[in-house]
Amino acid sequence: MENIRTITALAALAATLSAPLAAAPTAPSIPYEKYRLSNGLEVILAQDRSLPLVAVDIWYHVGAANEESSRTGFAHLFEHMMFTGTKHVPRGVAEKLLEAAGGSDSNATTSFDRTNYFDTVPSNQLELALWAHADRMGYLLDSLDQTALSNQQDVVRNKRRQRIENQPYGIVDEAVFHALFPVGHPYRPVVMGSHVDIQSARLADVRDFFKRYYRPNNATLVIAGDFDPSNAKKLVQKY
C-alpha cells in the first residue's frame, strides 16, 4: 500500500512538472511622452480620456536614504513642511481651493528614494493643480519659520506614536530593516525617523534641505488622465 501511495505521488509530481508553465502576466502598455524643461524639470504626460479627471504628481528625488545619520525622519518631516503655507498662499488655502474645485486624493508620501505630492482634479482644473505645486516649489522657502517647524515636529512625532509605537507589531518594519541593513546603510533607518532626531531638527537644516533637493532639476512632474497635451505643455511652461 505504501508503494502504491509513493508511485501515485511520484506520478502526480511528474504530471505537474511536465505541465506547461502559466504565461507570466504582461505589464500594461501605457503610452506616454517624456521631455525636459530648460530648468531641468522632467515632465511625463500620459493621456487617458476614459474619465474627466486628471492627476498631477510631482516626485522629488529625495527620501530617507539621503538623510544624514543624525537626521533620521528629516525627509518625512519636510513633506509635512510643504503644507505650511508659502510667501503668497497661507497655510491650507491651496488645499481649500483644490477641494472647492472638485479636487480629491490630495496628499503626499515619503519613501527611501523619493517624496511625492499629488492631486486628482476635474479635467478643467489642471491649471489650478499645477499652480499649487509650482507655488510650493517656488515660494515655500520665504515662509519657513520656527513656528511652522515646531508645529510639524509635534505632528510627526505624534504620527510615529500612532503608527509605530501604539500599533500591534508596529515596530516590526523597523526591526526588519535594522536586521537587513548594517549600520551606515542608507536603508537602515525607517522613514519615520526617531523622536530625538525629529525634535533636534533646526530651522537652518530645513532651509538647507529645501535648497538642496527641492529644485526643478531634481524633480519629475507626471500628468495623467483627461487633458490636451498641447495645452498641458503650455501650462507646465507657464508655471
Q: Domains, the chain, ranges and CATH?
A: 32-238 (3.30.830.10)
pLDDT digits (tens, 9 = 90+) for 85-100: 999 999 999 999 999 9
Indicate if 79 belongs to the active site.
yes
Which one from 79, 95, 99, 165 is the annotated catalytic residue?
A: 79
pLDDT digits (tens, 9 = 90+) for 119-142: 999 999 999 999 999 999 999 999
Supply the pLDDT for residue 140. 97
The three cell numbers locating residue 168:
500591534
Supply the pLDDT for residue 92. 94
Q: Please report, for the chain, how many H helices and E strands are present, in that order.
A: 9, 6
The Cα-based distances of 46 to 49, 216, 227 in angstroms read: 10, 20, 9
pTM equals: 0.85
Residue 11 pLDDT greater than 60, yes or no: no
Residue 56 contacts residue 223 (beta carbons within 8 Å): yes
